[in-house]
Copies of this chain bind each other. A is one copy, B any other.
Amino acid sequence: MLDMAILGLLREGPMHGYELRQRLVDLGFWRISFGSVYPALRRLDRSGWIEVSGGSGRRKEYRVTAEGKEHFQQILEDEASEVENTTAFRVRLAFFRYMEPSVRIGFLERRKSVLRERIATARGSLRKTADRVDRYTQSLMEHGVRVAEADVAWLDELIASERSDAPRGNDETPDEK
């Protein structure tokens, strides 16, 4: 999750921890803390996925290695990985440009079906508990359903524009290695 976000940002060029965290916050994913960033950088280094330059002291530069790029691609495109977690999905979407169109559509569709299920469940739970629950909780659940529906509509737009870009599966990437 954090690992993916960091590796993805470092793919665009080397950065130091503070800057990395700032970019993470700016993208509006979640309000990540230094207590997560620095341990994450250390463990990415231990795993050999990033390299550090500019020894102990101030301003260390982190740069992704070849193995790091490979690992990033793996965790990014892993179909089994969570599409249920909103944050995880959004991070993935921010790195969609590194996926092939067909893989992109797969993620969008899976996310859509998760949201559909969630809407159905929420609707059912609303009908069941309509009288037992106070108006605030009810309003909260109704609003939740509306937002989820807006999410689905947005996903539909993304899927549509994805399909219109590459009508026939993946003939967008003819010269793959």
Q: Which A residues are closer than 8 A to B by beta carbons?
A: 26-28, 31, 84, 90, 93-94, 96-97, 118, 122, 125, 134, 136-137, 139-141, 143-144, 146-147, 150-151, 154, 157-158
Measured between beta carbons, the chain B residues less than 8 angstroms from A143 are 151, 154
Whether the Cβ atoms of A136 and B94 lie closer than 8 Å is yes
Tell me which of B90, B140, B146 contacts A150 (CB under 8 A).
Answer: B146
CB within 8 Å for A147 and B144 given contacts A28-B122, A97-B136, A125-B26: no
Whether the Cβ atoms of B96 and A141 lie closer than 8 Å is no
Measured between beta carbons, the chain B residues less than 8 angstroms from A157 are 139
Measured between beta carbons, the chain B residues less than 8 angstroms from A150 are 146-147, 150
Considering only CB atoms, which chain B residue lies closest to A143 in the complex? B154
